[in-house]
Amino acid sequence: MKTTTTCAVVAALGLAAVLTAPTVQAADPVSHERILTSGLLVAHGGAKVTTLDPDGTGRAPVKLPDDLEDFNKSTWSHDGTRVLHSNVLVFDDSGELVAFRPAITTPDGSGYRLLRMRTQPMDLYCSAWSLDDTRILCGTRRGVFSFRVRDGRGGRRVTTNPYGGQDLAVGYSPDGTTLAWLRERPDPTPDEGTDLEREALYIADADGAHARRVTAWGLLQAHEVAGATWSPDGTTVISANRHGRLVEIEVATGTVTPVPLDLRRSDYAVMPDYSPDGQQVVFSMFRKAPADLFVANLDGSGLQQITHTDDRSELSPDWATIP
């Protein structure tokens, strides 16, 4: 009887423990940070896209079946599962270049889908996603347009460039209320007395309404290495000035603050992007030809070169947290 009773008590206690044990939740999918970069090939032109860890290790190619234009920009979707490539070269049956078009892939290049967009202008530059990743923003010399990701259709005009230059989409603020873009103005103005291209940062409501210029004309880097990105908290945009130095721009006031990097006089920094926590910045820099990627803290400390490539200029880095 004693043995039987003891076994029964033990069994009951064991059952109670099972019934009252806390439920173990399944572990969340592991996420990690990756930098996406499009490298301009020195020997024969075109570009190759790769991903890498923020310390420069773990390089992996994004393999594409079609060639990319020299200054292609590849951009993570907000959920980190897809990549937008801005400038795929499209040829006709006789081998003539007829268009630059966007393509969508997974991070390794699989699932390739070219958006042909046959009724659109030749020179599209599709460089940003909507916050829900269902649409892309493409810059043209008519302004920025929004298109559906699934088929490249459903075009909506978002901005209009009155100067005959290109509007380059920076993208939506993290809360989705504000659109930013870089506007090119190629014509001379009386106070400048020059016909050089001039670039300025503009912002507007998400639908393009109430547009206003944030920076002075000519402050920011123009041409093929123009670029800017939102900070994670949506208060600033980081870009490069025309002297190859990084600057943060306070969107509400237009206040421009240099990033105090300890650079050599000949260094030329362009195309910066914030780290996901907003405490660091990655950028392309021509310290020697070709350009490599560098990472630093926003206070200017911790400058580190993370790529060392002789066959390409590493451009347009995009730093994100991905699944």
β-pairing, 304-305 vs 167-172, is unpaired
Q: In angstroms, rounded to a whole number, what is the distance separating the alpha carbons of residues 112 and 115? A: 10
Question: C-alpha angle with apex 199: 193 to 203, nearest 5 degrees?
Answer: 130
User: In this structure, how many other beta carbons lie within 10 angstroms of the beta carbon of residue 195?
Assistant: 10
| Strand partners of residue 212 | 203
Pair 70, 45: CB distance under 8 Å: yes
Pair 125, 86: CB distance under 8 Å: yes
In the chain the domains, ranked by start, together with CATH numbers, are 31-322 (2.120.10.30)
Report pTM.
0.88
Phi, then psi, of 213 in degrees rounded to 5:
-85, 135
Phi, then psi, of 3 in degrees rounded to 5:
-65, -45
- Based on the number of CB atoms within 10 Å of its own CB, is 110 exposed (0-12), middle (13-18) or buried (19 or more)? exposed
Q: In angstroms, rounded to a whole number, what is the distance separating the alpha carbons of residues 200 and 213? A: 7
Supply the DSSP string of 221-252, one letter for each residue: --GGG--EEE-TTSSEEEEEBTTS-EEEEETT
Tokens for 245?
A: 């130095």
Mean pLDDT, 10 residues at a time, the chain of 323 residues: 40 39 50 96 96 98 98 98 98 95 98 96 95 97 96 97 94 98 80 66 98 96 95 98 98 98 97 98 95 98 97 98 97
Pair 238, 281: CB distance under 8 Å: yes
CA 140 to chain centre: 18
Q: In this predicted structure, what is the pLDDT of residue 189?
A: 57
Chain position carrying tokens 């699989």: 110
Q: In this predicted structure, what is the pLDDT of residue 196?
A: 58
Classify residue 59 by its DSSP letter.
-
Three-state secondary-structure class, residue 5: helix
